[in-house]
Amino acid sequence: MKSIYGLVLLCIIPLLITGCKKKDSGSSSDSSDLLTDATEYTGTFPTPAKIKYLDQGINIRVTAFPGQMIAFFNSTASAANASKLITANKGVILAQIPAIGYYFIGIDSSQTGSFINTLQADGMVDAVVPNMLSYPKTGVDILDNCGFDHGKAVQSTLQNCAGTLAECEDVTLGGGSEIAPLSKQIPAILKEANKNNGGTTLINLSYNGGLDRTDAYDYANLDPLSKTEDRDCWFTFMYGILKTIAALPPQNRENLVITIAAGNEDMPIGGVLDYLRTLTGIADVLKNNVLIVSTDNIPVIHANYAPEDGDVVVMNNSTAWQGTSLAAPCAMGYIEAIMNGEGVTAKQAITAMKMASLANPDREVLLGDAMTIAGSIKSGKLFSGGPFTLTGTITWDSGPDGICTVNLTYGMKSVGVSWDGTKGSISIPAVVTVELVSGNCSASENNGTDSKTMSGSLSGSNSSVTGSAMASFILGTSPSLTMTLNFNGSVNTSGDLAGTFSTPSFSSTISVVLKHQ
């Protein structure tokens, strides 16, 4: 991972793993053992400390275990070459999982900056990060050890939401410690994926990446440096988990789903997720393997949020008022209920959860909606795609104010279509934006943005699918305006729904392909 401008990489990462797993009778027997040649660290951990260093010219201040680093090597690097590079830079391999290029490394803490920069400059290396800490950041004051109150509350919520518990993995330093090193979290995820040998693996991470301080729930009032640290902390937590999943072989990743608590800092996380998707392999993992769970149910404080992001959903179950750590296991319970009730795979169930969220203006997942969508997926009736953007220019005579020209943009976060060959429905969570280009439009016509879910019906045959989606938007100070998107398409030889979107507002069109789910 190359250095990121503005990211301090300061991260204290809380995590509890609750695994609900089933061995599929059809699991591949060819899956390789991810733990071949793996070694486990059984040594002690140094006292956590603030570490300052330069990462490619950027000043970094990290709370971590001094002298301990985590590196991910890419698939082209052999274990021998990875070891050679590490030892050549005076590093000692403390633990390793060569199958995914993971190495836990001991170094002289005074050489932190030079070690990171040297390894990141090598083409074999994808990422190097310090061995971060984890602290509980929830709405209740409990520890993250499985035998303590928080772990029990997570398990109870999971079971109350129709999930079943397989086991709880302790990733802390033990003995009721609140500290969970990243170097223990990553192997725990890999162990669960390896154990199931390509079968269904459901994991719940019920703590978020947050800073261990009393003001962490008041993001809006933090000073700029603290805001940067919070965002960078959440980024580093997510990157470490997502990179671990991305490094798994396809057969181990195919039936793996992880629910992750969004956190309770009232912090916008959409921009962080957008950046993560630009990193190799992460967008696919976010789409197919991860569900980030927020809530509207917390009094006083508020959950981290991303109202426009399709990989973030809202759960308002009865225990979510205590924090997103008790919203996430309920989402996992729903996923298991959908799998059992509709006979779909883990990937299909997480797709149904995300589409059910996007179809609700408040982004809340309702189990009945998700079940219905999963049923459409199973019967082969569901198509989805996106994001798409349709933009055009409109010019008109606004009377006393003269000629007015604006850009009108339909930002389609996703498109979901249910189609049985003769009739169907379409749902489009969309952001419509009006931006002044020239002229003297009235204030109500100048600029404005509004988000709504556009919906409508489709008809025809597989060779000619037509219909439209509509919703009323408020743009600027204008009254409610009904906006329309028209769809024309057909089911192609690959079984996908291909076509075009247009609008009566302007002549521009875009071509889209909605994949058969």
Would the pLDDT of 210 be above 60? Answer: no
Would the pLDDT of 25 be above 50? Answer: no
206 alpha-carbon distance from chain centroid: 14
Give exposure, 397-423, as e/b (b: 16+ Cβ within 10 Å): eeeeeeebebebbbbbbbbbbbbeeee
Contact 389, 363 (CB under 8 A): no
Q: What's the mean pLDDT in 209-224? A: 65
Higher local confidence (pLDDT), 147 or 160: 160
Which CATH architecture group holds 49-132? 2-Layer Sandwich (3.30)
Cβ neighbours of residue 288 closer than 8 Å, sequence gap 6 or more:
253, 347, 350
Distance, CA of 140 to CA of 323 (rounded, Å): 8
Question: How far, CA to CA in Å, does 430 sit from each of 271, 357, 486?
Answer: 18, 13, 14
Angle of helix 224-246 relative to helix 182-195, nearest 10 degrees? 30
Count how many residues are written for the chain. Answer: 517
pLDDT of residue 20: 46
Distance, CA of 369 to CA of 353 (rounded, Å): 8
Cβ neighbours of residue 41 closer than 8 Å, sequence gap 6 or more:
94, 95, 104, 183
Of the listed ranges 111-120, 392-401, 453-462, the one predicted with least confidence: 392-401
SS (H, E, C) 297-312: CCCCCCCCECCCCCCE
Q: What's the mean pLDDT in 136-148? A: 38
**Can you give the C-alpha Rg of the chain in angstroms?**
24
pLDDT of residue 172: 74
Distance, CA of 427 to CA of 440 (rounded, Å): 35
Q: φ, ψ for residue 503 (rounded to 5)? A: -145, 145
pLDDT, tens only, 294-317: 999 987 778 999 988 889 999 999
pLDDT category, 17, cuts 50, 70, 90?
A: very low
Cβ neighbours of residue 352 closer than 8 Å, sequence gap 6 or more:
338, 342, 344, 370, 371, 373, 374, 377
Which CATH architecture group holds 149-379? 3-Layer(aba) Sandwich (3.40)
Distance, CA of 63 to CA of 58 (rounded, Å): 16
Distance, CA of 51 to CA of 56 (rounded, Å): 16
Asked whether the bond before 181 is cis by omega within 30 degrees of 0, the reply is no
pLDDT category, 209, cuts 50, 70, 90?
A: low
Contact 473, 449 (CB under 8 A): no
Cβ neighbours of residue 140 closer than 8 Å, sequence gap 6 or more:
149, 150, 153, 322, 323
Of the listed ranges 47-51, 104-108, 212-216, 457-461, the one predicted with least confidence: 212-216
Cross-strand pairs, 408: 392, 434
Mean pLDDT for the chain?
Answer: 82
Distance, CA of 262 to CA of 150 (rounded, Å): 16
Token couple for 476: 């600027």
* Torsion sign across C-alpha atoms 334, 339, 342, 345: positive
pLDDT category, 478, cuts 50, 70, 90?
A: low
Would the pLDDT of 331 be above 90? Answer: yes
Range list of H helices, 34-111 = 79-88
pLDDT, tens only, 359-407: 887 899 999 999 999 998 888 898 999 899 999 998 877 666 677 888 8
Would the pLDDT of 147 be above 90? Answer: no
User: pTM for the complete prediction?
Assistant: 0.77
Token couple for 323: 């924090």
Q: How many CA atoms lie within 13 A of 418 on its CB side?
A: 18
Give the E-state strand segments of 173-279 in sequence order: 200-205, 256-261
Of the listed ranges 55-64, 88-97, 425-434, 480-489, the one predicted with least confidence: 55-64
pLDDT category, 477, cuts 50, 70, 90?
A: low
Count of C-beta atoms within a 10 Å radius of residue 187: 22
Cross-strand pairs, 481: 473
pLDDT category, 141, cuts 50, 70, 90?
A: very low
Helix (H, G, I), strand (E, B) or coil at 517: coil
Contact 2, 56 (CB under 8 A): yes
Count of C-beta atoms within a 10 Å radius of residue 486: 17
